Amino acid sequence: MPFAYFERLSRRQQGIYLRSDKITAVPLPGAGALRPLVVELGATLESGDRALTESACQLLANGLGRALGLPPVRVTVLAARPHAKWGELHGLYESTGKPGRPPTITLWMRTAQQKRVVAFRTFLRTLLHEMGHHLDYTLLRLGDSLHTQGFYQRESHLFHQLVTDGGPGMATLDEQLARMERTVNDFAAVVKNVSDAQLTKRPDPKNWSAKEVVCFSPWTTRSSCPSSRTAGRWNASISATTSRRRSPP
């Protein structure tokens, strides 16, 4: 059964919704080869170093893109989440719509109030969530990216291909992190040859592009959003899964 906001969508959007909802899996070729990047991301996030976390996110996004056949996407990691009455902003996907300029994903690595580093699984989920929007617009060519049940199933599928703790004979993520025992400096050496383009920061956080997808946790509401709407330069989709976003999965 579709989310309640389905009834408020246009016919075109309802068609997109139904197509999105039917796609429940994203097989990830070579997922095992990407797991070390996930572990690296966990280590850099835990270090609290924004620049290294951004680099680790970019490397994982590059790896996911190669595995799935996606065009490039640029990842920026900022500090504390923006927040307002509606909740905290977790992630943002923006497409410039201009040839040669890759879309951007912006993630925030600290909570709005306490400024604590976000729980790793939540952070990884958010990155995969935003990659899901990228997937919708590029590989799946849905024409819009809506928070359907299928969308969340795709996000979960990606997550569980990358995080395999609990599986037979597999170390938990924490065990993998402990085993790595790699320092932040080790990782800095790993990424030192990453191009500036890959690591480029967003020049102006307020200068949104033409088409955007906003993903946040509406802490204060249980709205039946997401509603995809076009308002001026904004095309925003607001997460409906409040319970999923309130705590680490």
Q: How far apart are CA 212 and CA 215, in angstroms?
A: 10
Residues in binding contact with Zn ion, number by CB under 5 A = 1
User: Which C-beta is closer to Zn ion: that of 24 or that of 47?
Assistant: 24
Closest contact distance (angstroms) between CB of 237 and Zn ion is 5
Name the residue whose CB lies closest to Zn ion: 215
- 9 in the Ramachandran plot: left (φ > 0), alpha (ψ -120 to 50) or beta? beta
**Window 103-162: residues binding Zn ion (CB under 5 A):** none
- Beta carbon nearer to Zn ion, 52 or 214: 214
Q: From CA 198, how far away is CA 152, in angstroms rounded?
A: 27
Contact yes or no for 89/245 (Cβ under 8 A): no
Distance between start and end Cα atoms, the chain: 23
Site string for Zn ion, 188-217 (x = CB under 5 A): ---------------------------x--
Please state the closest distance from residue 53 (CB atom) to Zn ion, in A.
20
Between 45 and 215, CB nearer to Zn ion: 215
Q: How far is the CB of 93 from Zn ion (least distance, A)?
A: 7
Our CB check for Zn ion shows the closer of 102 and 226 to be 226
Residues 21-50 that bind Zn ion (CB under 5 A): none
Beta carbon nearer to Zn ion, 133 or 202: 133
Query: In angstroms, what is the minimal distance from the CB of 50 to Zn ion?
Result: 22
Residue 186 CB, shortest distance to Zn ion, in Å, is: 33
Please give the residue ranges that form the binding site for Zn ion (CB under 5 A). 215
